[in-house]
């Protein structure tokens, strides 16, 4: 297994309340030239967690950080006008908490970050440092 020192959180940059699947993301990412979906886990609006790229494989989700990270994405992140917004449903928040705990157990040396800590982006549209590193 590759070394994992970061768990990086993302949003799908899709509008609040709109439902998308790992298959949709896989299509988008292939269209951008990726081999397959770039995230390792995707959290749907209902809080269900779905597998993307296998964790043993380097993801395609955060430039410069992919080799040693796991990428997690929740569906949402934009308001109805397409502006950045924390659109996580209570089910998604609970599922993210549980998934992050599981990943930290699996990779004890890993710390949790938001994509926006490595790139000039709003993603994942909430303060990961405040929620997961304090
Ligand atoms: Zn992102």
Q: How confident is the model at residue 1 (pLDDT cuts 50, 70, 90)?
A: confident
pTM above 0.95, yes or no: yes
Give pLDDT, residue 105.
97
Residue 16's domain is classified under what CATH number? Answer: 3.40.80.10
* pLDDT tens digits along 62-115: 999 999 999 999 999 999 999 999 999 999 999 999 999 999 999 999 999 999
Question: Does the annotation count 10 as an active-site position?
Answer: yes
Residue among 131, 113, 2 nearest 57 (CA): 2
How far is 35 from 48, CA to CA, in rounded Å?
24
Question: Does the annotation count 123 as an active-site position?
Answer: yes
Given the residues 6, 29, 39, 61, the one annotated as active site? 39
Given the residues 29, 40, 85, 115, the one annotated as active site? 115
Give pLDDT, residue 109.
96
How far is 84 from 37, CA to CA, in rounded Å?
22
Domain count, the chain: 1
Strands in 111-114's sheet, in edge-to-edge order, are 49-51, 41-43, 69-74, 6-11, 111-114
Which residues does 43 contact at the CB level (< 8 Å), separation at least 6? 49, 50, 72, 73, 74, 75, 92, 95, 96, 99
Q: Is 1 inside a domain boundary?
A: no
* pLDDT tens digits along 6-45: 999 999 999 999 999 999 999 999 999 999 999 999 999 9
Q: How confident is the model at residue 134 (pLDDT cuts 50, 70, 90)?
A: confident
Ligand 1 centroid to Cα of residue 48, in Å, is 19
Domain range enclosing 65: 6-132
Ligand 1 centroid to Cα of residue 52, in Å, is 15
How far is 75 from 20, CA to CA, in rounded Å?
7
């Amino acid at each position: 297994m590759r070394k994992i020192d970061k768990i990086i959180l993302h949003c799908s940059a899709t509008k609040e309340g709109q439902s998308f699947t790992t298959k949709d993301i896989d299509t988008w990412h292939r269209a951008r030239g990726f081999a397959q979906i770039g995230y390792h886990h995707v959290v749907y609006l209902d809080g269900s967690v779905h597998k993307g790229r296998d964790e043993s494989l380097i993801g395609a989700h955060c430039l410069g950080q992919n080799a040693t990270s796991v990428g997690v994405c929740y569906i949402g992140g934009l308001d109805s006008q397409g502006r950045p917004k924390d659109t996580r449903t209570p089910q998604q928040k609970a599922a993210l908490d549980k998934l992050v705990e599981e990943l930290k157990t699996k990779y004890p040396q890993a710390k949790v970050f938001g994509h926006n800590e490595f790139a000039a982006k709003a993603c994942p549209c909430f303060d990961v440092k405040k929620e997961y590193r304090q």
